[in-house]
Amino acid sequence: MMTYQTLLYYCYSYIADAEQFATDHLAFCKSLNLVGRIIVADEGLNGTVSGTKEACEAYMAYIKADERFRKTDFKIDDVDAPSFVKMHCRYKSEIVHSGLRDPNIIDPNKQTGKHLEPIEFQKMIDREDVVILDVRSNYEHNLGRFKNAVTLDIENFREFPEKINELAKYKDKKVLTYCTGGIKCEKASALLLHHGFSDVYQLHGGIIKYGKEAKGEDFEGKCYVFDNRIAVDVNKVNPSVVSTCYNCGKITPKMINCANPECNEHVTQCDDCGNDLQGCCSISCTSNPRKRPYDGTGYYVKVSQQVKAPATGS
């Protein structure tokens, strides 16, 4: 029986004195013995947290009790172990780094694409007047993506604005954007509208919610997630593997971070190459004196922090 949960969420809502909020929120999360990663900015919250079911329920209730965040949509996964080993809550300029910080141009609270629930999205993806746009980075869509999706050659979401001209040929189409949990689409769809795209949609709740409510149909491969699971299965209808080993080209669903911390590249890598290269993406990285021990997972953390199971009565 799984006794832990992992919560993925975001909320665009103005936070006064967001830096102090981040400090106080970290203390609150630690009081629940949660682990995870939360970004706080003036524009809102973006987080993934993990802990016991009781702690996660308490956290969700706390967030929704705050009027600023009452509409927060939590994506909930039952897991057999916490998905992080430490709790981080940091103040940053944006809750997803895009470089689009001018609220007069991009403000998800004022204008975004039309939100499609997973079942609505599913019904539209095969239409001839529709283009499916993946707004995630290379390493994410290399691991998994929707069938026939348009993908962009970007290393980080902040490069998305540079691709608007490449996308101009789709202005006469219905553009359906998607990402992992929905947060990138809020700004991506708003930017498309700003640049004259008239019929823009976004998958509400992202790939994760689509997997739960539409059984992930026609999502090919796995979905990259930003915790120690690295990748999760989405498709329960017609699953497939589309990713290939960065080193040998063999089909593989596995993704790692390079064991060389000065590289830390996200790559898909088969077990044979992982063992041969000790979890590194290249031979040169194997000689780095700071190379981390490879345990077969390809996920690395700095400090361990135990998450306690709920206390039981005697």
pLDDT range class, residue 311, cuts 50, 70, 90: very low
Q: Quote the pTM value.
A: 0.90
Q: Model confidence at 228, in pLDDT bands (50, 70, 90)?
A: confident
Taking CA atoms, 243 is separated from 5, 156, 234, 298, in Å, by 27, 19, 14, 16
Where on the phi/psi map is residue 118: left (φ > 0), alpha (ψ -120 to 50), or beta? alpha
Q: What is the pLDDT of residue 1?
A: 64
pLDDT for 79 beyond 50? yes
CA-based nearest residue to 195, from 233, 160, 150:
160
Instruction: Please state, for a pLDDT cut of 70, what percent of the chain lies above it.
Output: 94
Q: What is the mean pLDDT of the chain?
A: 93
Which residue is listed with tokens 């949990």? 181
pLDDT at 305: 37
Q: In the chain, what's the furthest Cα-to-Cα distance?
A: 67
145-174 pLDDT, tens digit each = 999 999 999 999 999 999 999 999 999 999
The number of beta carbons lying within 10 Å of the beta carbon of residue 306 is: 9
What mean pLDDT do residues 172-200 have?
96
CA angle in degrees (0–180, nearest 5) for 117-183-298: 110
pLDDT, tens digit, 9 for 90 and up, residues 294-305: 999 998 865 333
Alpha-carbon distance of 52 to 2, in angstroms, equals 9
Please check whether the domain covering 4-91 is classified as CATH 3.10.20.340: no
Q: Which CATH superfamily is domain 114-224 in?
A: Rhodanese-like domain (3.40.250.10)
Q: Are 305 and 86 in contact (CB under 8 A)?
A: yes
Q: Which residues of 227-265 are buried (b: 16+ CB within 10 A; e: fewer)?
A: bbbbbbebbeeebeebbebbbeeeebbbbbbbbbeebee
Residue 100: pLDDT band by 50, 70, 90 thresholds?
Answer: confident
Beta bridge partners of residue 271, listed in sequence order: none
What is the per-residue DSSP string for 191-222?
Answer: HHHHTT--SEEEETTHHHHHHHHSTTTTEEE-
Distance CA 148, CA 168 (A): 18
Selection from 208, 209, 191 nearest residue 200 by Cα? 191
Residue 176 pLDDT > 70, yes or no?
yes
Residues 95/40, Cβ–Cβ less than 8 Å: yes
Mean pLDDT of 23-35: 98
Q: Where are the domains of the chain?
A: 4-91, 114-224, 244-300
Average pLDDT rounded to a whole number, residues 206-216: 98
CA distance 35 to 200: 36
Percent of the chain with pLDDT over 90: 87
Which pLDDT band, with edges at 50, 70 and 90, does 194 fall under? very high
Residues serving a catalytic function are 179
Q: Residue 88: enclosing H or E segment and its boundaries?
A: strand 87-91
